[in-house]
Every structure is written in C-alpha cells, then in structure tokens.
Structure 1
Amino acid sequence: MIKIGITGQNGFVGSSLYNTLGLYPDEFQRIDFHKEFFENSGQLDDFVRQCDVIVHLAAMNRHPDPEVIYENNIGLVKKLTESLERTASTAHVLFSSSSQEERDNLYGKSKKEGREFLAYWAKNNGGKFTGMIIPNVFGPFGQPNYNSFIATFCHKLTHGENPVIDNDGEVKLIYVGDLVQEMIGQIRSGETNEEYSVPHRTTIKVSEVLSKLENFKKRYFDGGEIPELKTDFDYQLFNTFRCYFDLKNHYPVKFTQHTDPRGAFVEVIRLGIGGQCSFSTTVPGITRGNHFHTRKIERFAVIKGKALIQLRKIGTDEVLDFYLDGAEPAYVDMPIWYTHNIKNIGEDDLYTIFWINEPYNPEDADTYFVEV
C-alpha cells in the first residue's frame, strides 16, 4: 500500500487526483492535507512523515502582482523542503511545473526554480523526485477566470454570457483525467525524473474550442440533443462543458409531449452518437443506482409514475433532489463524478428509460458504487 499526500488537495488537479486515487483502494492510501499545514511546521511534519509519495500541487496561478505569485510559490516549496529535511524523509516527491517555464514571466520562473530546488533536495537526501512539466490543463470543475480559458468559456456559455477571445493562438492541451493517469504512472514507476515533459494530447486554436462549445450550448444545453462526438478530445470537452450547468435550475427538463386520441408521443433523446437505451419498471419504494461514472454520458427519463432522482458530487456532502412525474415526462442527465440514484416515490410502478453513450462492458464498466 502506497501512502500518498497531495498539497493542493482541494484544487482543480488535486481534487481530480485525490478522487481518482480513491478508485484504487487496494493500492493507494490517501493522506489528507489541509492548506493550514503550511502555517504550522508541526502539522506539516506529521503529514510528511506519513507519506511515501508527496504530490506538490499547491501554488498560486494568478494575482495582480506577479511578485506575489513568485514569492508564494517559492515559499511553499521551501516550507515543504524544510519539512522533508526535518523529518529525514526519503519520500518520492512529484512536482507540478508548467510549460510556462520557458516564458519570461515570474510564474514560469517560480515553477522552474521550485522544480530545481526539490531536485537538489532529492539528490542530497536520498529522496526521489519527479519534476512534471505540464501543458495547459482543462477538465471538469476547473475554476473560471483562473484555471483555464475552457473553464471560463464553459461557465459563460451556461450562465447567459458571451465568451470573448483575447488571443486566438494555438494551444497545447491535456485533459485533467489524462494528466492524473500520467501522475499515477510516475508514482507506480517510483523512479527519479527531474525534468519530465508531459506530452500534450491536443493542439487546437482557441476559436476552434469556442466553436465546439457553442455547438454544445445550442444542441445540448438549449436543445437537449447529445451532439456528435468524433474524438477523445470531443468527449472530454463535452463532459467538461456539462459540469458547468447550474444543475438545480436546469433539471429536470420537461419533454415536449404530443397527444391525440391514440395516446401520447414523446421524443426521449436525439443523438449525434450511438449508445445503449434501456427501459425499466421499478416497484414502489425501490431505489436503483447509487453509482457514478468518470467518463460516461447518461440520461434518466421518467415517462410514468413518480420518481426522486438524487445527485451528489464525489467529495462533497450536498445532495441535489429532483422530483419527476410521468404526468409531465422529464429527464435528468448525470454529470461525471456525481453519484446518482432514482427511487420510486409513488404508489404505482415507475417507468423509466435509461440511455448511456456506450454499451456496458464488465471489463471496463466505469461504474463505481457509492451511496448518494
């Protein structure tokens, strides 16, 4: 069992790494970190002593004064290094640097010097060190106007604002899930690599990204249609976009119901992609689900009976309740990293249609059971 601590555990990359490590409970044990540890040497030392691996992600990305960024980031590296020395730790330290190392700015300078500082510690104290030089990262739950221009675009498009492109250059991107797998690979290898340039997965112009996101807004956010997704990047961008909805106000989405003397007709889902569609009946009082996905796209459509659909983001306590009634057919889509369930709260059988974008594969189910 490898004991792993993450500084910046609650940040964009940190929370994704923390949650993903939780999918391997037989291999990794997570040692919780709190940012207050940096202000208390005793608590920081206790944290360091417990760790076989420390992933140092805590850093400042943006501030009106670049000097503040530089001093903050170098200061955090020094505090961690001093703790490593006080505790005589020989941990494997992974450090997240940035492709901005090569730029003439204080953020890039803080990252390069921090990487070199920790490499020197490892070389002289019997530790191991991996300095990861990372391209632009995007993915679900990034902070708008801070972590990524994609986060900013997604938030604006789902909150009634219009994104503006400041510089339409080409960007090299990596999805946060792919970056996390790179980190886990380095942890498993247990080898020193002072300057590891993490390969980007996509090169694309900012305007092309915005065009894709505007298509998602038109087809999916406004129209409920699952758009055509041709590449891994399309899937990753779409799942990122879905995570910026104001879920409480967006769901449940009522269907357009057409009635005539024969009965009623409802279009449940319009697809630019395939997948698997299922139908279920649920007797009163029974709950289905209580699981989450990290990549799958899923829709629950209630067409008869009364249901309570509940969602909870992994790592949080807030439970979102959505009440649906087949008298007014409606659906709720499941964001990734949200555990979800559906319960029959009526007196009659509940009729539900489930759609998911890929057929069930028991060898790669992407289905993790956690109570809402």
Structure 2
Amino acid sequence: MMIKVGISGQNGFIGQHLLRTLNIFPGKFKVVPFKKSFFDDEDELNSFVKSCDTIVHLAAMNRHEDPQVIYDTNIELVQKLITACRNTNSTPHILMSSSTQEERDNLYGQSKKEGREVLAKWATEEDAVFTGLVIPNVYGPFGKPFYNSVVATFCHQLTHGEQPEIHKDGELDLIYVGSLVEKIIDSIGQKTDDSNHLVPADTTVKVSEILELLSEFKKTYFEKGEIPELEDTFSLNLFNTFRCYIDMDEHFPVHLTKHSDDRGAFVEIIRLGIGGQASFSTTVPGITRGNHYHTRKIERFAVIKGKAQIELRLIGTDKVYSYELDGDQPGYVDMPIWFTHNISNIGDDELYTIFWINETYDPDDADTYYEEV
C-alpha cells in the first residue's frame, strides 16, 4: 500500500535527506509537496494535511538572537498543524523531530519538549498515532555551517582556507543523517506509536577527535588526492560528509602527473588507505555512461585516453557541474554521494577510463539509483 508522506521543513537539512531517500522508493511512498508558506495560509495547510497519511514535522526555528522568538515560533507551528488536522477531521500519523536539548535549560529545548507533549495530547484525544523522536546531534552532507552542527562548520572551514577553533572540547552524541532517515522511514512503515521515542546515537566522540579526523582528511584527500584509511562506519560517514563541502567549481578536475619516456607514459591514478574495486572501460564516440547516483559509495573517474565530458548534479537541484578531460593531460573527478553523474565520449577516438569505487559490487545491495543528469 502506497503511503502518502508530507514533510514540513522538507527543504531543511534532515528534510532534504528524507525527501531524497523516500523518492528512491516510488512504489512505497508518495511525497506530498510542502512549502514553508503553508503555515501562513490556512487553506493550503488544510489541503496539505488532508492529503497525507503521514506527516513528518521537521519545521522549526533553531537559532535567533531572541530565544523567546524561537520558543514562540516552534510552539505556533505545532498549534497550526493541530488546527489544520481538526479543521479537516484528519488523523494522519504524525512524527515530530525533537532534540536531546529538551533536558537543557534553554527555550529551544523547552519549545521542542512542549511541542512534542502537545502533539501527544492531540493524538490521545483523536485516537491518532504519534511518534515523538528525541534525536541527538545530527551530522552529514549538506548541513549548513555555523547552524546545523559543528561538523558542518569544521568541514566548511577546512575546505575554504579557514582554521577551525574549539571553544569547548566536550563529548558529542552523534547520529549520521542517513541513519536517522532510516529510523524515520522504519517508524513510518511500522506506525510507531511512542510519544517519547529516544533515538540512539551512532557514536560518542570528542570535538577535538572530530577535528583531528577532518584535518587528516584535508591533508590526505583534499591536498593530496589520496583516499584515507577509513577504519569504521563513523569514519566513512564523516569522510563522505567532508567531501560534500568541497567547492566543485574550484577543485575538479584534478590533473594527474604524467611521466613519459621513449617507452611510453606512466600515470598514477589513486593512492588508497582503503580497498575497493577498480574497473576499466572503453567508450566509443558519442556514447554516455552512468546517469546514476550513490548514497554511500566513494567513486573516482580517471580519464587516461581520449576526450570526455563528466557531468554531475545534486539530486533535487538544477545546477549541473560539467568538466572536460583529455587523456593528453590525465585527470580525475570524484563523485560525491547524492550527485547523479555520467561520462560521455566527446572526442573522435575511443575513450579510455579507469573507475575506482570503495566497495566491491553487490547486485543485492548495489547502492546505485538511476537518474539522468
């Protein structure tokens, strides 16, 4: 049965990741479009609520110079959502994202806790299903620096010539945004009825340890082009997060050093602190390969002979990054996660390309999704 899911705050950090992931499964989920302006238009909000089987309420204010504005805004959003449900006699399964900051003495945490309790009371009165998600610190690709997390801030600073500073070296309970999205989707499918659903952290780590790892990624990958050793899932997720803060217009393509003598030429393609799978392809003129994206894999395209055009586009956006590479000056482009990508032979001769990916191909878990650039 198709589940119609609406996401308030679908353009936010978590909302974008949830939206993209739900769209991978068009046979299971249909996303009901949402705009921020719906909260200021009673008819639009009523129509939205009436169209949904499930609503994931992510919309909230996190920062403002006046904490009282944060509190008032977040409570008002919850009240407007409940009013729309009552106006339309709708009882969708509502999931609300709260925060472990509920236990802190600040108005943001207070607004999330009280909002969760108000929705739980509505669900009890209307015999509806409610899931109150109490979530630790979330990190991952495309988070907003100086807003979403210290990880986003550090990644942005390290890839843009700035030096991060640690103001307080405490321990952080962290969850990767992809892991959180999986848990939200599981709760949607299971219709989890739990007004105080504590979402466990993936890892607990000190701020200084995060900065140490990211600084190593800068030195190894950003400056040298080497894939670092990734010892665990946290390191992989943090590395994929780091890669998404690189300025695609400035950094790629990266040109390789070509060593030539009377025997021919030698070009080093990649240095690895990690395993994976390397492949080689030839492509005849006028042909395009790819048009797919990955949600976890690290991938490099290296052109060693012929002329190629490599294109990438972040899922859900319109901007296309386009690079022309020529085997006479060998180079590579790396594929960030959630970027659909392709490679075309734009020359008159056969194109030779080497592909490297950090895990061997598994047809039962390919992490490869078709979408044209």
Per the TM superposition, whether the score is higher than 0.5 is yes
TM-score (norm 1): 0.99
Q: Which residue of 2 aligns with 1:260?
A: 261
SS at match of 1:288: strand
Partners of 1:282 and 1:317 in 2: CA distance: 27
Structure 1 residue 37 corresponds to structure 2 residue 44: no
Superposition deviation, residue 176 in structure 1: 0.2
Task: State how far apart, in whole Å, the 2-side matches of 1:333 and 1:260 are.
Answer: 29
**What is the aligned partner in structure 2 of residue 329 from structure 1?**
330
1:303 match: 304
Alpha-carbon contact 1:89-1:127 (below 8 Å) kept: no
**Segments of 4+ moved more than 4 angstroms:** none
Work out whether 1:74 is the aligned partner of 2:75. yes
Deviation at 1:285, TM superposition (A): 0.2
Q: Which residue of 2 is the match for residue 283 of structure 1? A: 284
RMSD over aligned Cα atoms: 0.6
Residues paired across the two proteins, number: 372
Task: Determine the structure 1 residue equivalent to 2:236.
Answer: 235
- Could you say which residue in structure 2 is the equivalent of 1:54? 55
Give the alignment of 1:214-225 within 5 angstroms.
Answer: 214-225=215-226
Q: Does 2:217 align with 1:213?
A: no
Q: Deviations over 1:120-156 (max 9, x none)?
A: 1111012110000000000000000000000000000
The reply on whether 1:357 has 2:358 as its aligned counterpart is yes
Shift of 1:338: 0.3
CA distance in 1, matches of 2:263, 2:242: 39
Aligned amino acid, residue 345 of structure 1: I
- CA distance in 2 between partners of 1:130 and 1:20 (Å): 19
Are 2:139 and 1:138 aligned?
yes
How far is the alpha carbon of 1:258 from its aligned partner?
A: 1.3
User: For the residues of structure 1 that align with 2:52 and 2:45, how far apart are their CA atoms?
Assistant: 11
In structure 1, distance between residues paired with 2:239 and 2:171: 20
| Structure 2 gap ranges (5+) | none
1:86 aligns with 87
Say if 1:139 and 1:240, in contact at 8 Å, map to a contact too: yes
- Match of residue 95 from structure 1: 96
Partner AA of 2:335 in structure 1: M
1:123 — aligned with what? 124
Residue 147 of structure 1 aligns to a residue whose secondary structure is coil
SS in 1 for 2:56: strand
The answer for the alignment partner of 1:270 in structure 2 is: 271
Q: Provide the residue aligned with 1:159 in structure 2.
A: 160
1:271-304 superposed Cα distances (whole Å, 9 cap, x missing partner): 0001000011100000000000000000000001
CA distance in 1, matches of 2:198, 2:37: 30
CA offsets per residue over residues 30-58 of structure 1, 9 Å max, x none? 00100000000000000000000000000
DSSP-derived class of the 1:291 partner: strand
Identity %: 64
C-alpha distance in 2 between matches for 1:109 and 1:84: 24
Q: Which amino acid in 2 is paired with 1:235?
A: L
| Cα shift at 1:255 | 0.3
